[in-house]
Structure 1
Amino acid sequence: MLENPINTLYPINEVFQTIQGEGIFTGVPAVFIRLQGCPVGCPWCDTQHTWEQHVSDEVALSRVTEKTQPTAQWANATAEQLVELMRQKGYSARHIVITGGEPAMYDLTQLGEALEQAGFKLQIETSGTFPLKVTDATWVTVSPKLDMPGGYMVRPDCMKRADEIKYPVAMQKHIDQLDKLLASCPPREGVSIGLQPISQRPRATELAMKVCIERNWRLSVQLHKYLNIE
């Protein structure tokens, strides 16, 4: 993690425009900025190519914006370079999603300020296992990752900062784990809690639907996978 306050560098795996497929902003046009690096190790992760940051995979920024398939290639970029990239690409979406990897490994304050000054709204998707360094206006989506191979714990301060809790589930034990987390690390009053089936299997979806109805929570179905878009 590089934290030069004058010229912070961010390891960029992808930048692309699409439709947000998860959580409260489902259906909203968005530009995704995917960062490289994540030690959490979720077994079902569909972006495992972002876990490691090898010097041998570093390329020019133009290369990562032209990807047609997932790769471990990444490029360093400053906040100013990313804002200029938004301008050059002519993206129509004004909603930016910072994801990964695990984006909270990095200080995102400078990037958030630059994007907000350029007229964008910012959302971060994080596992809640690293301290959050974001602007006050950033929408924080915490997708808690519990008992993962990396051994990282979900932080109480991340749960308190969350604007939205989006939790992946496949079976009842995941609901039980979430209940324990909410009891020990309660979010702010009124924060939206959503359940997201880990797979598209009927059993996982039926469980998520059942619990959401019982508790008046939200269902997040990963719309982009049903639409077969990125």
Structure 2
Amino acid sequence: MLAINEIFETIQGEGVFTGVPAIFVRLQGCPVGCPWCDTQQTWALNDDDQIDPAQMILKTGDTPAWSSMTAQQVLQLFSQQQYTAKHVVITGGEPCMFDLREFTTLLHQQGYRTQIETSGTFEVRCDPATWVTVSPKLDMPGGYEVRADAMARANEIKHPIAMQKHVDALDALLSRCPVQEGTTICLQPISQRPRATQLAIDICRQRNWRLSVQLHKYLAIA
């Protein structure tokens, strides 16, 4: 069973798949505690907040209400909602708190491409064909360490930065937890601040990394 906070269709606004139509499946529960998190409503997984899937799909605001659904039920909901996107982003919360192997394999069998967005603090359990985006969360209040096996599984590293110390922290992490050859590294300026954006541009040019600019925030789309 998956604890789902919301499901919606939009455009992927970050990382390698920026601009791609996507179905977002946001899971409930995250103990990492990132101070700047913009989905703090997904942190707590309380029984009192559980609602029916029919209510969940009608949510219009950010609330901690969540539904328990099987992988097959989620797929059926995609059909009921008449979604046309074929790229499914599994996010959170922290999606890797859940075993996602059955869900991602089922989606692939039905012609979808899958992507997981994770903090790298839990084991990544998914289909081998799933694109894994690790946004490593270092020294967060929850006290969880970024795992070497999560970094090694990553197809993409997406790292938020505001200052040079954040770049230095990523360098230290990559030295301690190497990624596989060919992994894309994206730098993402925190909150679109001009200074952070220029730093990210400069580092990306120096190292042939990739800039992630959170397109959805610039365009004010969900």
TM-score (norm 1): 0.95
* AA at the equivalent of 2:168: D
Question: What do residues 196-228 of structure 1 show as CA deviations (whole Å, max 9, x unaligned)?
Answer: 011111111111111111111000000000111
Q: In 2, distance between residues paired with 1:63 and 1:213?
A: 46
Q: In 1, distance between residues paired with 2:182 and 2:104?
A: 25
Q: Determine which of 95, 106, 117 is the counterpart of 1:103.
A: 95
Structure 2 counterpart of 1:156: 148
5 Å matches for 1:61-210?
A: 61-210=53-202
Asked whether 1:228 is paired with 2:220, we answer yes
Number of residue-to-residue matches in the alignment: 222
Structure 2 counterpart of 1:49: 41
* AA at the equivalent of 1:172: Q
Q: In 1, distance between residues paired with 2:185 and 2:31?
A: 25
Asked whether 1:37 is paired with 2:65, we answer no
Asked whether 1:16 is paired with 2:4, we answer no
Q: In 2, distance between residues paired with 1:200 and 1:164?
A: 21
Question: Any idea what SS the aligned residue of 2:64 has?
Answer: coil
Q: In 2, distance between residues paired with 1:142 and 1:75?
A: 25
* AA at the equivalent of 1:95: H
4+ aligned runs moved over 2 Å, structure 1:
none
* AA at the equivalent of 2:137: K
Question: What do residues 158-180 of structure 1 show as CA deviations (whole Å, max 9, x unaligned)?
Answer: 11110000001111110110000
Q: In 2, distance between residues paired with 1:112 and 1:179?
A: 31
Q: In 2, distance between residues paired with 1:55 and 1:77?
A: 14
Question: What do residues 65-111 of structure 1 show as CA deviations (whole Å, max 9, x unaligned)?
Answer: 11111111000000010010111111110000000000000000111
Q: In 1, distance between residues paired with 2:186 and 2:140?
A: 20
RMSD (Å), alpha carbons: 0.7
User: How far is 1:116 from its partner?
Assistant: 1.2
* AA at the equivalent of 1:219: L
User: How far is 1:39 from its partner?
Assistant: 0.4
* AA at the equivalent of 2:184: S
User: How far is 1:190 from its partner?
Assistant: 1.6
TM-score (norm 2): 0.99
5 Å matches for 1:208-223?
A: 208-223=200-215
Structure 2's unaligned 5+ residue stretches are none
User: How far is 1:189 from its partner?
Assistant: 1.1
User: How far is 1:44 from its partner?
Assistant: 0.5
Question: Any idea what SS the aligned residue of 1:199 has?
Answer: helix
Question: Any idea what SS the aligned residue of 1:76 has?
Answer: strand
* AA at the equivalent of 2:37: C
Question: Any idea what SS the aligned residue of 2:15 has?
Answer: coil
Structure 1's unaligned 5+ residue stretches are 1-8
